[in-house]
Each structure stands twice: as structure tokens, then as C-alpha cells.
Amino acid sequence: WRRATSLLSFGVDPSKDPDPFHGKMPNVTHLIHDITFGAPFPPGDNPLQKTHHVMDNESGVALANVAVKLVPTTYKRTFYAAKETYQASVSRHIVQPETLAAQRSALLPGLLITYDFTPLAVRHVESRENWFVFLSSLVGIVGGVFVTVGLVTGCLVNSVQSVAKKMD
């Protein structure tokens, strides 16, 4: 069993341009419109759709670290073909520039997305019982109601008759 892990990093590389912002610090607040892995999973929402990370420190510079765990999923609905997709679990945190500097990290301010494919798969199958099971359950319920009403009616009629005999 092996895990497949990859990383996407969006930021500035100072080795290519030593002063890309001409002395000013950029605000790396960002909005992720949509990142998908496969077809959408119908019972759930995409946690990477319309998410934003606001850098609320004074400089506006930080590293938004987004870790995505992907589980391969086969989703089969009744009367439809099976759909191969992924379920995603997302955790986010903001790493402040002071922490990056204290740890002497090679990571730069911006957006870092790490995604990890889990080696286990999920098979989600929606199914229904056939018509014979439904009909036999329905007949059983109707028969049970009929017998119960008959017993209650018989008890009430016998009770009323015995009370009426004692009254005479």
C-alpha cells in the first residue's frame, strides 16, 4: 500500500526576481473559486469551492496551508451507472511569517495545497428492495392491523355484554 502525495505551491520565487514587488509587501489574501478531483460526490459538498483565506496580520503576508485528503469512491445509485469520484477532507491553517522565519522554512508566503490520495477506497451503493418484498411487508402490516382491531373489538364487545348481564 502506497500513498500518493503531491503539492501545489503558489507564491513568489525570489531567486528569479530579487525584488518582485519593488520594496512593497504584497497582501496574499486569496479566494479559491473551485478545485475538484473527479466528478462531484452527490451526497456531499466540495470543501474547496468558494473558500477564501484572509491574511489579517498587519503585513498581509502569510502562508495559507491547505491539506486535502482524497478517498477514491465508487458511487452507485439505483437505475444509474456507477460513478468513480473522490471524497475530500480539507484542513486549513495560516502560518504567520514570524513562524516561517523562526523555523528557517524554505516555504514562501502564498498558498500551499498538499493533496494526499488514500490507498483505501469506499463503495457507496444505494439500493431498494424488490416489489415482492414490499408487497409481502404491506400484506403483513394490513393483516396485523386487521387481527389487532378484531381482538380489541372482541374484548370490548364481550366486556360490554358481561357488564350488561350483571346490570340486569
Distance CA(92)–CA(23), nearest Å, equals 29
Backbone angles phi, psi at 80, to 5 degrees: -125, 160
What one-character DSSP code corresponds to residue 103? T
What is the value of pTM for the model shown? Answer: 0.58
* Residue-wise pLDDT tens digits, 60-108: 677 778 888 888 888 888 888 888 888 888 888 888 877 777 877 777 7
* Residue-wise pLDDT tens digits, 110-147: 778 888 888 888 888 888 788 899 899 999 999 999 99
Identify the three-state secondary structure at position 8: strand
Task: Provide the pLDDT confidence category of residue 148 given band limits of 50, 70 and 90.
Answer: very high
